[in-house]
Chain A
Amino acid sequence: MKKELTIFDKPKNVKILLICFYCSLVLLLIAEFFIHPHPAFYFETMKGFSAVYGFFSCVLLIFLAKILRLIVMKKEDYYDR
């Protein structure tokens, strides 16, 4: 039997991963100041628009999905009954 990978079993490794992830977010925000801007629409001239839009899209997605779940979720044997 091959050895198992267990790197994510250690909380320390998960913590390092999360710290790297948060650092990359900060870097992305800084990077925007060093590139030639190419806004698609007027609202994209704001710095960090994509970041804010991406974040709130996902929050809204989850929020609406939770509401949708109240309406459409049924037990697995719904159609067999």
Chain B
Amino acid sequence: MTGNLPPAIVFIAAALLIPLFRGRFKALYMLLIPAVTFIIIMKVPQGNNWIHELWGYTLIMGRIDKLSLVFGYIFTIMAFLGILFSLKVKDNLQHVSAVVYAGATLGVVFAGDFLTLYLFWEIMAVSSTFLILASRTEDAKKAGFRYILVHLVGGLFLLAGIVLYIQETGTTAFDYIGLSGPASWLIFLGIALNAAAIPLHAWLPDAYPMGTPTSTVFLSAFTTKSAVYLLIRTFPGTDLLIWIGAFMVFVPIFYAVLENDIRRVLAYSLLNQIGFMLVGTGIGSQLALNGAVAHAFCHILYKGLLFMAAGSVLQMTGKIKCTEIGGLYKTMPLTCLFCIVGAASISAFPLFSGFVSKSMVVTATVEEHLVLVYLVLQFASAGVFHHAGIKVPFFTFFGHDSGIRAKDPSWNMLLAMGIAAFACIFIGVFPQPLYNLLPYTVDYIPYTGAHVVGQLQLLMFGALAFALLILSGYYPPEIKSINLDVEWTYRKLGNRAYAILDSGLNSLNRRTENLLISTVKGVSAFFREITIHLALFFSVNLWLIQGYRDKHLTMKKERLYNEMVHGTLPVGMGAAAAVSFVFLIYLLT
């Protein structure tokens, strides 16, 4: 029965039923969702599947080829690991949005037409926002709000591009597009924003570190890599991507060195790693595209692993800033070990996964004789080892002893990290199964003597620099601080623009309002005074007729006046005044 449903629909439909389950059944049910989906993806034949007609458009929910399959596999595996990691979280909102988010990503990956793509694209944006909001802190709320605004704008670019594209080509189906007209540029911008391509990247280090210990694991995997997938499909060989990629590889590592929040360090290294993928996509040769795909595959695993380790530390200690943690290896040895495996993988140490994937992209730059790009990538490789490979484990688990004695997290979190760590080493030692999954035939051998020794020299002498700088005290100290990035434009500049508009337009508004209110106040006061004086005039005449004099009359006058001013006058008094008025006229005529 499920064999007839697209993976995305299985995920999203199953996610909505999660709140109905309790305890062990819930855990089992949630783990079954990616497991069943994995089997569906394995069994579905290549070509277009799950085709529906809607309002004269063809919706293709299952474009199955080698490129989409490899991404489908890794996203399903990561969904499984993320669910396992967050199994003990008692928050249905997180579970449902995480599974919907993973499902929507599968929808994006397998979409064969723009309408399906756009639908799942927006579901992805909304469901991931809930994962940021799940922290339920004031900061997370603000960051989530900025996150969804940025993504809605990106979605609008994509939508505008899609509309133009359909008008030009008359079809909703898409494959290679390439940068040519306005439609392709709009689509490119929309996708590049999700890939966090510089300068459209600021939302990522702004929002991801705000997630819960478990939700950030999901966030790190899906949005950016599904966008990388789309770029590989629609814009391979776009020269611009080489330069954006080279820039992304280069700039974020400086921020990563300075950052105090471990998860923000990881967010910047995430940008750096996407840079490698974009360089591969931009070069566009078979080796380069294979490299970009392989690197995305490995990256999802080790970055997930690193965010799981950081999440474990946050969960167990409540802290995640370099200045507040340190020396945790003493009581969290397993988390420490898994973190080091993730760190070795992202640094592309031989025998770890990054080595067999990143080197494909680097070799592709050599084949294309891109000397500058090659040097930038090598610089960044040493830099990655510096901040993600050494800084993250060193300041978290070693460095100064913070005195915190937190234990390793629960079994499910350790198991998820263990599986990811095993996969990182397995791919590093036996790359062939991964190479078999790649879109083009792989004719590349990562383990040559020159490559291994060259890479080890690069990394170990980078480590020497770190060791000497730490020992000499020149290394930039950890400081409680934040570092400005492009998001400053919409956080501070935006606020200033708001303030200017506020003082400009709103003061006009306020003045108009004040003028109106003072006029109304004056008019109403005039009428109140008139009423009081009229009432007094008629009442005093009435009291004179009734025979009140001197003290009695003054007392009655004062009482009436006070009651009129303070509004405590019973309604009957008004009526009495009116009646006495009529009575007076009757007497006088």
Q: Which residues of A contact B (CB under 8 A)?
A: 2, 4-6, 8, 18, 21, 24-25, 28-29, 31-32, 34-41, 44, 48, 50-62, 64-66, 68-69, 71-76, 78-79
When C-beta atoms are compared, the residue in chain A nearest to B452 turns out to be A35
Bound-state CA distance A66–B405 (Å) is 32
Smallest CB separation, A45 vs chain B (Å): 11
Contact A51 B458 (CB under 8 A): yes
Which residue of A25, A34, A52, A75 is within 8 Å of B481 (Cβ)? A75
Contact A4 B366 (CB under 8 A): no
Contact B458 A50 (CB under 8 A): yes
Smallest CB separation, B547 vs chain A (Å): 73
Q: Which residues of B contact A39 (CB under 8 A)?
A: 450
When C-beta atoms are compared, the residue in chain B nearest to A67 turns out to be B254
314-363 of chain B: CB within 8 A of chain A: 329-331, 333, 363
* 25 residue pairs bridging A and B, Cβ less than 8 Å apart: A2-B331, A35-B450, A37-B450, A38-B451, A40-B366, A44-B454, A48-B457, A50-B461, A53-B382, A54-B458, A54-B459, A54-B460, A54-B461, A55-B464, A58-B386, A58-B462, A61-B253, A62-B474, A62-B476, A64-B254, A65-B258, A66-B476, A69-B476, A74-B484, A79-B482
Contact A76 B258 (CB under 8 A): no
Bound-state CA distance A25–B342 (Å) is 23
Contact B454 A50 (CB under 8 A): yes
Contact A38 B330 (CB under 8 A): no
15 more contacts with CB within 8 A, not counting A4-B330, A58-B466, A62-B257, are A32-B453, A34-B449, A40-B366, A41-B366, A50-B461, A55-B464, A58-B382, A58-B465, A60-B379, A61-B382, A62-B476, A68-B254, A72-B484, A75-B482, A76-B482
Smallest CB separation, B463 vs chain A (Å): 7
Question: Quick one: which of B461, B466, B480, B492 has the most chain A CB within 10 A?
Answer: B461
Contact B482 A78 (CB under 8 A): yes
B407 at the interface (CB under 8 A from A): yes
A53-B382, A62-B469, A62-B474 as given contacts; A76 in contact with B481, CB under 8 Å: yes
Which residue of B329, B363, B454 is within 8 Å of A8 (Cβ)? B329
Contact A28 B386 (CB under 8 A): no
Contact A61 B467 (CB under 8 A): no
Q: Which residues of B contact A68 (CB under 8 A)?
A: 254-255, 258, 483
Q: Which residues of B contact A (CB under 8 A)?
A: 253-255, 257-258, 329-331, 333, 363, 366, 371, 374, 378-379, 382-383, 386, 398, 405, 407, 448-451, 453-467, 469, 474-476, 479-485, 491-492
Which residue of A38, A56, A74 is within 8 Å of B483 (Cβ)? A74
Contact A57 B462 (CB under 8 A): yes
Which residue of A6, A32, A72 is within 8 Å of B457 (Cβ)? A32
Bound-state CA distance A15–B481 (Å) is 33
Bound-state CA distance A50–B454 (Å) is 6
Smallest CB separation, B487 vs chain A (Å): 9
Contact A59 B254 (CB under 8 A): no
Contact B258 A69 (CB under 8 A): yes
Contact B475 A62 (CB under 8 A): yes
Contact A79 B492 (CB under 8 A): yes
Q: Which residues of A contact B407 (CB under 8 A)?
A: 2
Q: Which residues of B contact A61 (CB under 8 A)?
A: 253-254, 257, 379, 382-383, 386
Q: Which residues of B contact A74 (CB under 8 A)?
A: 481-484
Contact B455 A50 (CB under 8 A): yes
A24-B460, A51-B457 as given contacts; A62 in contact with B465, CB under 8 Å: yes
When C-beta atoms are compared, the residue in chain A nearest to B463 turns out to be A21
Bound-state CA distance A37–B540 (Å) is 118
Contact B457 A29 (CB under 8 A): yes
Smallest CB separation, B340 vs chain A (Å): 13
Bound-state CA distance A71–B460 (Å) is 30
When C-beta atoms are compared, the residue in chain A nearest to B138 turns out to be A80
Bound-state CA distance A41–B449 (Å) is 17
Bound-state CA distance A48–B484 (Å) is 37
Q: Which residues of A contact B333 (CB under 8 A)?
A: 5
Smallest CB separation, A34 vs chain B (Å): 8
When C-beta atoms are compared, the residue in chain A nearest to B466 turns out to be A58
Q: Which residues of B contact A41 (CB under 8 A)?
A: 366, 371, 374
Q: Which residues of A contact B405 (CB under 8 A)?
A: 4
Which residue of B255, B382, B469 is within 8 Å of A54 (Cβ)? B382
Bound-state CA distance A21–B464 (Å) is 8
Bound-state CA distance A18–B374 (Å) is 31
Contact B482 A50 (CB under 8 A): no
Bound-state CA distance A4–B405 (Å) is 9
When C-beta atoms are compared, the residue in chain B nearest to A33 turns out to be B453
Smallest CB separation, B462 vs chain A (Å): 4
A41-B371, A69-B483 as given contacts; A52 in contact with B254, CB under 8 Å: no
Bound-state CA distance A24–B453 (Å) is 11
Bound-state CA distance A81–B514 (Å) is 29
Contact B374 A5 (CB under 8 A): no
Contact A54 B254 (CB under 8 A): no
Contact B379 A57 (CB under 8 A): yes
Q: Which residues of B contact A6 (CB under 8 A)?
A: 330
Bound-state CA distance A35–B492 (Å) is 55
When C-beta atoms are compared, the residue in chain B nearest to A22 turns out to be B464
Contact A51 B461 (CB under 8 A): yes
Bound-state CA distance A34–B239 (Å) is 39
